A and B are shown apart, each in its own frame.
Chain A
Amino acid sequence: MARAAVLERLTPIAWRVATVEAVVDETPSARTIVLDVPSWPGHTAGQHVDVRLTAEDGYQAQRSYSIASAPEAERLELTVERLDDGEVSPYLTGELRAGDPLELRGPVGGYFTWRAEDGGPLLLVGGGSGVVPLRAMLRHHAARQSDADARLLLSARTAADILYRDELESRPGVRFTLTRERPQGWTGFDRRVDAEMLTAVGPDPAERPRIYVCGPTAFVESVADLLVALGHEPSAVRAERFGPTGG
């Protein structure tokens, strides 16, 4: 076994220095960072990475970000939403440029993951940037040409806040809801996620879908409670929350 491989095995969570290949503005407050990661071990849709920033005086700040790209993609993509009072996200969404190094480790997380071989049906419910790991699942679904029934409900404040809108709109089974506005000609939902909306999106609890809910903590709590009340198995509902320790 090569020495590098041995080291890899002994330090499964080594920090790596990735290089930013490109930054893509997705919405006024969110940016996708395309990364070239040396000896990236591969990931599963739904996993995340830890990103670490080090200041000149040695102070370090660390955050977790969901992976936005499919395992099949050549480059690793993270989509980061700027939190104005955050410590890390303003740098990632504002200062970071192509060619810059970025320290990260991972992938981590084996709970909130979906592989094509897990099958469906699949119900994905995202709040705001909670759609990021769900997009990785949908891209994986497409890359593997999975025939699993996959549906996504994405809740955003305004139409301008919808991440990956063009890409998602081109897929069947994707619905949006806006909680703060109803633009002219809008054909999606225009309220907070409720039981009626979840029933309309489906699939029916009798089909025993695998369910992934990601978003702010209060959003996830509310949606998970609604799903269980509709008759979905609590154990079929997997949740990933963004909390106040983010940013």
Chain B
Amino acid sequence: MSEQALWLDGNAIAGLLVEIFGTEMTGVVRGCQSCGARNAVGAHRAYRGAGVVLRCPVCSDLALRIAVLPDRHVVQLVGSWTLELPTR
């Protein structure tokens, strides 16, 4: 158990996701276009670097890429996402 994996749960980027999508996202279920697994965003694997990458917990295929720039976020979504966004 001495080896530290380099990823966290999707849950760890909950704050950033609310900032971008305006609503709580970790309970959203995403279907992977690669392996077909359906998992909550909070159960995906989050890799942080200059931005954030979210990967399928089963096959590690790309699920979400967020580049954090000074004036905007650039967001790329992969797979099947069903979002329920509150009306304003």
Contacts and interface: CB of A to CB of B under 8 A. Distances in A.
B56 to A, nearest CB: 14
| Interface of chain A, main secondary structure | mixed
Interface residues of B, number: 29
Contact of B22 (A12, A238, A244): A12
B41 A111 contact: yes
A219 B4 CA distance: 9
Contact of B14 (A109, A217, A244): A109
Contacts of B9: 111-112, 239-241
A209 B37 CA distance: 23
Interface residues of A, number: 30
A207 B27 CA distance: 24
Given A217-B8, A243-B7, A64 B23 contact: no
B14 A108 contact: yes
Nearest to B44: A111
Interface in B1-33: 1-12, 14-15, 17-19, 22-27
Contact of A243 (B5, B10, B19, B40): B5
B5 A109 contact: no
Nearest to A222: B1
B33 to A, nearest CB: 20
Contacts of A112: 9, 11, 26, 42
Contact of A111 (B7, B8, B43): B43
Interface string A86-115: 000000000000000000011011111000
Contact of A244 (B6, B10, B24, B25): B6
A50 B11 CA distance: 12
A200 interface: no
A145 interface: no
Interface string A9-26: 110110000000000000
Contact of A109 (B2, B23, B42): B42
A9 B27 CA distance: 20
A223 to B, nearest CB: 10
B8 A245 contact: yes
Most buried by B among A106, A218, A243: A243
